[in-house]
């Protein structure tokens, strides 16, 4: 299914609520093909969010409000003074769940049309809805016609039975409700939601990677989430409640220093893998709680790396285990793209290559053009991908499927009933 491009001049906005930072990008559609340009940016440290979950409503609300205001101010001219009305919001990987369905619908020897595909998608949606979870994505990933598999696009083809493989993603309603409360406090509507690793993939992967099979791993502050792409679609996603902040707190505990100093040491001297030179290099570690910073502890750099490496190994090993259990191993291909703020630690690519036994590259948002240097790094892959999702894949929003699958006139309803039942 394809979607119509957004009209020229329309505004789209993305709000990425992370465990470390909250970011908002506002973009304006520049041409009739739906290409857009980012015109407003806001980002700041996330307060009130931990491991992808709201832990303090008032603090999270304030962080979101300030971030959105900053982006609105920057975009004021492009928005002609109108306030932002709705935003596209991320769903942290830990609150999402993948479901795979195969649904058959009768096409009675007619040419397959978009409506037949939507009927299949809508049937799958009905099966997936359970209390406590809500639909986030409805993605057709493969088709068969009268038992012939591997049909790339069945529209226009003639057959009696259309089979659709569907990947549905649902989200944990209470967790999402808390995000919604924070966003609505800023008088913003949620246009739709998108799973964080899906957005990260949409901004970091090139077409061939999405087609041939690739796993994107978004290593953030509190969550490491991953999504498998194949045939141009996301076929699986999962997440672990672990990220760069866990590395930082391991350092703070291990070297008896403050979180702020541990973060600095990690960024300045950290490495994912030990080297021989680490033994001889000595680094200064300020002692926690002591005002006098002139007498720090002197420790070999190897001690720091020795704290970082096991935690990163743990995260990568758990990711590997989840991918193996998922049964999508073959589809995931031989390629991994690592992104997210925590992917910036030197040596992580080599460590991931070793543990995952795949070809690994580092990813940043390459599919959204015109991003300033400060926001085109891996920490903003998800934020940028939310814009790509609205611009390119709005037809995967469950509400859009339901609206378009519901037949309009009574005559159309009768036709669908006959198709379904005879």
Ligand X SMILES: Nc1ncnc2c1ncn2[C@@H]1O[C@H](COP(=O)(O)OP(=O)(O)OP(=O)(O)O)[C@@H](O)[C@H]1O
Residue count, binding to ligand X (CB under 6 A): 26
Rounded to a whole number of angstroms, the minimum distance from the CB of residue 342 to ligand X is 4
* Per-residue x/- track, 8-47, ligand X (CB under 6 A): ----------xxxx------------------------x-
Piece of the chain touching ligand X by CB under 6 A; list 30-38, 72-80, 217-225, 314-322: 217-225
Say which entry of Mg ion, ligand X, none residue 42 contacts (CB below 5 to 8 A, set by partner kind).
Answer: none
H or E element in which residue 64 lies: helix 57-75
H or E element in which residue 336 lies: strand 335-339
Rounded to a whole number of angstroms, the minimum distance from the CB of residue 416 to ligand X is 42
- Please say whether the beta carbons of 373 and 350 come within 8 A: no
Collapsed DSSP state (helix, strand, coil) of residue 127: helix
For tokens 């329309």, name the residue.
Answer: 10
Residues 26, 371: Cα–Cα separation, whole Å:
11
* Rg from Cα positions in the chain: 23
Q: Would you say 248 or 302 has its CB closer to ligand X? A: 248
Q: Would you say 340 or 365 has its CB closer to ligand X? A: 340
Answer yes or no whether residue 52 interacts with ligand X by CB under 6 A: yes
Say which entry of ligand X, Mg ion, none residue 142 contacts (CB below 5 to 8 A, set by partner kind).
Answer: none
Answer yes or no whether residue 260 interacts with ligand X by CB under 6 A: no
Collapsed DSSP state (helix, strand, coil) of residue 76: coil
User: Do you know the residue count of the chain?
Assistant: 422
User: For the chain, first and last CA: distance in Å?
Assistant: 26
Answer yes or no whether residue 379 interacts with ligand X by CB under 6 A: yes
Answer yes or no whether residue 270 interacts with Mg ion by CB under 5 A: no
Bridge partners of 269, per DSSP, are none
Piece of the chain touching Mg ion by CB under 5 A; list 10-18, 94-102, 163-171, 344-352: 10-18
Answer yes or no whether residue 96 interacts with Mg ion by CB under 5 A: no
Answer yes or no whether residue 309 interacts with ligand X by CB under 6 A: no
Q: Would you say 128 or 387 has its CB closer to ligand X? A: 387
- Please say whether the beta carbons of 419 and 105 come within 8 A: yes
The 10 Å Cβ neighbour count of residue 181 is 13
213: left (phi over 0), alpha (psi -120 to 50) or beta: left
Answer yes or no whether residue 18 interacts with Mg ion by CB under 5 A: yes
Answer yes or no whether residue 234 interacts with ligand X by CB under 6 A: no
Residues 30, 11: Cα–Cα separation, whole Å:
10
Q: Would you say 40 or 341 has its CB closer to ligand X? A: 341
Q: Would you say 166 or 176 has its CB closer to Mg ion? A: 176
Say which entry of Mg ion, ligand X, none residue 248 contacts (CB below 5 to 8 A, set by partner kind).
Answer: ligand X
Of the residues 91, 195, 223, 240, which one makes contact with ligand X according to CB under 6 A: 223
The arrangement of strands across the sheet holding 214-219 comes to 233-240, 224-230, 214-219, 335-339, 359-362
Answer yes or no whether residue 345 interacts with ligand X by CB under 6 A: yes
Which 366-385 positions form the footprint of Mg ion (CB under 5 A)? 382
Residue count, binding to Mg ion (CB under 5 A): 3
Answer yes or no whether residue 201 interacts with ligand X by CB under 6 A: no
Residues 201, 164: Cα–Cα separation, whole Å:
23
- What is the CA angle 333-336-337, rounded to 5? 140
Bridge partners of 49, per DSSP, are 54
Instruction: Using CB under 5 A, list all residues that contact Mg ion.
Output: 18, 220, 382
Instruction: Using CB under 6 A, list all residues that contact ligand X.
Output: 18-21, 46, 52, 92, 196, 220-223, 243-245, 248, 263, 266-267, 270, 340-342, 344-345, 379
């Amino acid at each position: 299914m394809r979607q119509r491009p957004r009209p020229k001049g329309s505004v789209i906005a993305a709000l990425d609520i992370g465990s470390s930072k909250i970011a908002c990008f506002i973009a304006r559609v520049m041409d009739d093909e739906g290409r857009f340009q980012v015109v407003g940016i806001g980002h700041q440290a996330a307060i009130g969010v931990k491991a992808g979950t709201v832990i303090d409503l008032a603090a999270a609300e304030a962080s979101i409000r300030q971030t959105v205001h900053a982006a609105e101010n920057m975009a004021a001219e492009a928005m002609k003074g109108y306030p932002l009305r709705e935003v596209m919001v991320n769903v942290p990987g830990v609150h999402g769940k993948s479901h795979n369905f195969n649904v058959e619908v009768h096409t009675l020897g007619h040419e397959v049309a978009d409506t037949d595909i939507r009927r299949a998608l809508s049937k799958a949606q009905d099966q997936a809805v359970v209390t406590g979870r809500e639909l986030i994505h409805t993605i057709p990933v493969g088709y068969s016609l009268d038992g012939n598999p591997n049909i790339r696009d069945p529209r226009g083809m003639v057959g009696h039975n259309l089979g659709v493989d569907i990947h549905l993603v649902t989200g944990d309603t209470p967790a999402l409700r808390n995000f919604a409360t924070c966003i609505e406090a800023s008088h913003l509507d949620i246009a739709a939601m998108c799973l964080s690793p899906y957005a990260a993939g949409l901004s970091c992967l090139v077409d061939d990677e999405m087609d041939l099979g690739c796993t994107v791993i978004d290593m953030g502050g509190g969550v490491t989430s991953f999504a498998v792409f194949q045939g141009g679609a996301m076929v699986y996603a999962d997440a672990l409640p672990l990220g760069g902040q866990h590395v930082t707190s391991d350092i703070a505990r291990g070297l008896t220093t403050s979180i702020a100093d541990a973060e600095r040491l990690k960024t300045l001297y950290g490495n994912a893998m030990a080297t021989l030179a680490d033994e001889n290099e000595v680094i200064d570690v300020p002692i926690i709680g002591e005002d006098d910073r002139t007498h720090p502890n002197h420790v070999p750099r190897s001690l720091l790396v020795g704290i970082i490496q096991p935690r990163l190994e743990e995260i990568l090993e758990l990711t590997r285990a989840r991918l193996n259990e998922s049964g999508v191993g073959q589809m995931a291909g031989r390629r991994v793209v690592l992104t997210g703020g925590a992917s910036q630690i030197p040596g992580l690519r080599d460590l991931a290559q070793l543990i995952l036994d795949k070809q690994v590259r580092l990813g940043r948002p390459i599919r959204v053009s015109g991003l300033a240097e400060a926001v085109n790094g891996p920490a903003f892959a998800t934020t940028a991908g939310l814009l790509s999702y609205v611009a390119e894949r709005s037809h995967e929003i469950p509400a859009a499927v339901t609206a378009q699958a519901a037949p309009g006139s009574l005559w159309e309803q009768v036709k669908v009933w006959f198709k379904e039942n005879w």
